[in-house]
Amino acid sequence: MSATPDFSPPRRILIVDADPVMRESATALLKLRGLEVAAAADGIEALTMFAREWFPVVITDSAVAPVDGIEFVARLRILSLAPVYIIMLTETSDVRVHEQGYCMGVDQYLMRANCLSELVGRVQAGINAIRRRQSSRTGRAHEPATVDLENGAHTARHLVGRLRAEIVQAERSKKTLQLLSIGLDAADPAAFQQHSVSGTISHTLLGAAQDAMRAKLDWIVRLPAPANTCRLVVVMPESGASEASAMEQTIRNAFVHWGLSSAASGLRLSTGLASFAGEDNAPAALELLGQAERSRRMNDAPARMSVERPSADSAAPAQDAA
């Protein structure tokens, strides 16, 4: 059986910004990295250019007269016949504003004030994301639904769009939506790898969660994580305490022979839960995700203190993954 072909999108970028200085600076910066760059001063010009030629990555300001930036993104998504990664420059860090953009098709937000220092890395991430999205097993119809931010195949757009839809449905149906946050941490690289026989610990954790998923209901988010750790969130619509407990127990059973309860194993499994029962004041998608992560960290704190007490320098908490 032949291997899946590697999909490599053209290194072609479209910049949409009314500021000529920004357009010229960004264009020069990206061209130095061997990228082919085109620029447009407004949304109508950009849509015309995009209709004539595919740009895998589009960098746009949040205001692209004569259309609103979010409307421009929506039109771009409708127009596109091929995958496109959209980076939006913004001056706000409001998560609800960002959520609206993610739901309309933005892949990544970048603060305008320091965008040039991060632009090359974000563009390369966009090119890689499109390539990985084409070949990722998590995107195939017969696989359990998985939004994979760890390998870059998906972005916050996929996560927020799906999770926002679940929150709206829970609000309408008054049925509880639960997010189970799962973390697996190792003391060092050796501890992280020594128990793995048929794949990495991350894949073992993902497989255990997929085995316990309810078909056509539950889905998984695999989050970026610091070295020697892995993070998952299982999204469980129309669920109660028994479903969350069963999911957690199935995952713990997958690692029971690794001796996680022993400090000698060098591994620590932690979980946390957040829920929304359809009451008023629905949370933003990223807020609900943050609640699950904070719950996991609180539950993990006693075990962390127990393991790290002999050391004078305890490790800093893992940084936010989303």
pLDDT at 138: 45
How many whole angstroms separate alpha carbon 220 and alpha carbon 292?
Answer: 14
Homologous superfamily (CATH) of 146-308 is: Reverse transcriptase/Diguanylate cyclase domain (3.30.70.270)
Integer Rg of the chain from CA: 21
Alpha-helix residue ranges (DSSP H) falling in 153-233: 156-173, 189-194, 201-212
Q: Which fold has domain 12-135?
A: Rossmann fold (3.40.50)
3-state secondary structure of 15: strand
**Domain-wise residue ranges, the chain:** 12-135, 146-308
Contact by Cβ (8 Å): 130, 116: no
Per-residue pLDDT reduced to its tens digit, 242-284: 999 999 999 988 887 776 656 666 788 999 999 999 877 899 9
Per-residue pLDDT reduced to its tens digit, 71-121: 899 888 888 877 899 999 999 999 889 998 998 899 999 999 889 999 999
Structure tokens at 144: 């359990």
Structure tokens at 58: 């589009």
Reading the chain (322 residues) residue by residue, the pLDDT tens digits are: 344 455 677 889 999 999 999 999 999 999 999 999 999 999 889 988 888 788 999 999 998 888 888 889 988 888 887 789 999 999 999 988 999 899 889 999 999 988 999 999 999 999 988 888 766 544 444 567 888 888 777 888 888 888 988 998 899 888 999 999 999 888 777 767 665 544 577 788 888 898 889 988 899 999 988 888 889 999 999 999 999 999 999 998 888 777 665 666 678 899 999 999 987 789 999 999 999 999 999 998 766 655 444 333 322 222 333 3
pLDDT at 306: 53
How many whole angstroms separate alpha carbon 141 and alpha carbon 118?
Answer: 34
